[in-house]
Structures are given as C-alpha cells and as structure tokens.
Amino acid sequence: MTAVLHVPAFKDNYIWLIRGHAGDGVAIVDPGEAAPVRAALARLRLTAVAILCTHHHGDHVGGIAELVDDNPVPVYGPAREAIPAVTHPVGEGDEVPLPSLGLQLRVIDIPGHTAGHIAYHGGGILFCGDTLFSAGCGRLFEGTAEQMCRSLQRLAALPDDTEVFCGHEYTEENLRFALAVEPENVEARQYREAVIALRQRNRPSLPSTIAREKSVNPFLRCSVPGVHAAAETFARRQLASECEAFAAVRRWKDGFKG
C-alpha cells in the first residue's frame, strides 16, 4: 500500500511525498520550496527518487532546482508548459514509472487553471495540483470555463474511492461557498464540521475522495438541479448546459466574500 506524506509549504500549499511499500524512496509532488522538503527527508531518512509537478506556478515548482542540486532525479512535468527543470515532459496517457515505489502513475491533461496543467493518477491516488480542490476548484488563469469544466468531469469519472491530493489547504474556506450554493447539503455541513475539527488540531483536511467531492463540491455538481438553479439565480438567466452553469458558479466564487 502506498503511503502519502504531507509537507506544508508557504501559507497553505502541500508538497506530497509518495512512499512505496518498502525502502526509503519517495516521489516529491509539486515542491514549491526546497527547505521544508529537505528537512522532511532528513528527519524521516527518506531519499528522493523522482519529482513530479502539475503546472508551472512558482508555488509548485520553485524548489525543484535546489532539490535536483542535492540529488539529480528525473523531473516529470507538463509537456505543454515551459518549466526549465523538467527532464521528462509528459502529457495525456503517458506513464510515470516509479518501480522503486511499486507504483505506476498515468498522466491526465486537465487544462483550465493553467493551459497545460496535468494530473497524476494510479494505484488509487490522484494528484491534481490546483485544478480540483476539496469542495472547490482552481481559478481560471489561462484556460476557459469550458476547459475547466471538462477537466473536472474527467476527474469526477475516476473511481469513487480514489484518494484526492490537492495542492492547497482551502477546504474550510471552500465549504463556506459550497454551503452558500447548497445550504441544504447535509453531507457538506457534516464535512465542514469534520474539517474544522481537523484544522483545529493542525491536521490536513486532505486527502479527499472522488465520492466525497461528487457529494459536496459545487463545481462537480453543476448538473444537480439545485446547483443549476442556484447558478441561474446568480447569472440572472437560463443556463443551457452543465458547463454554462459551471462558468456561472466559478464567477460567483471569484466574487464571493462569505
């Protein structure tokens, strides 16, 4: 069984360390800074075997150069983005073999937050960077709402029990918006209580699961009649499709002050 350790970075980023069933090797996902990763590797006596990044933003790639200075491991990253430290550019359907971890991940193209954003999925775990957050999704910096909507639909189609490792601890804040969209969503209310309790103990709210996200995340629920209707109320017009509703909910969240 694969274990995934979290390394907090900056204000609310998570750098993930994927650990195999045996040995001291780890794959490092989205190291935005090197220092906390170096400290965690030293403290736990772990060795990097690969670095994986999901998109080009500095809070996800900023630590790569220093980490490969320490240990020149393969660096996987999106083929459609210019990230200088990437040695293995990958895109849709490409495999990332991590034999020393007993794991193989497959790349999914999920544009929207950035134009070339990718996810890594395999062995029941998903690393989705800043595309899918628990109870939320990334802002549209480079892609269109239609692209992001399709990307989220692809992630939602993964098996229900897939563990979801996101790039940021935004869950509690996202749930305030989720409950503004769906005040009657009992699962979202219960989840919010559980997340508040975890955060009070300084524990991550992640990983989530695809099943949970389908029941609490408004951005995955734009085809649910109540969410669609809320989106139409916000947009003050009829919305013809799930992705039009998604676009409205995304704009709603952009201006949401809670």
30 binds Fe ion (CB under 5 A): no
Strands (E), 53-172: 75-78, 88-90, 95-98, 103-109, 118-122, 125-127, 132-133, 136-137, 163-165
Q: Name the catalytic one among 56, 117, 121, 168.
A: 168
User: Is 228 one of the catalytic residues?
Assistant: no
Contact of residue 182 among Zn ion, Fe ion, none (CB under 5-8 Å per partner type): none
Question: Does residue 59 carry a catalytic annotation?
Answer: yes
Does 130 contact Zn ion by CB under 5 A? yes
Distance CA 247, CA 145 (A): 5
User: Which H or E element spans position 14?
Assistant: strand 13-19
Residue whose token pair is 């965690």: 40
Q: How many CB atoms lie within 10 A of CB 52?
A: 26
**What is the distance between the alpha carbons of residues 143 and 108, in angstroms, rounded to a whole number?**
16
Catalytically annotated residue among 30, 56, 60, 109: 60
The single residue among 4, 31, 32, 57 that binds Zn ion, judged by CB under 5 A, is 57
Which member of 57, 117, 121, 228 is catalytic? 57
Rounded Cα gap, residues 212 and 37, in angstroms = 29
- Please state the closest distance from residue 85 (CB atom) to Zn ion, in A: 16
> In whole angstroms, how close is the CB of 55 to Zn ion at the nearest point?
6
113 catalytic, yes or no?
yes
Q: Does 130 bind Fe ion (CB under 5 A)?
A: yes
Annotated catalytic residues are: 55, 57, 59-60, 113, 130, 168
Q: Which residues bind Fe ion (CB under 5 A)?
A: 59, 130, 167
Q: Which residues bind Zn ion (CB under 5 A)?
A: 57, 130
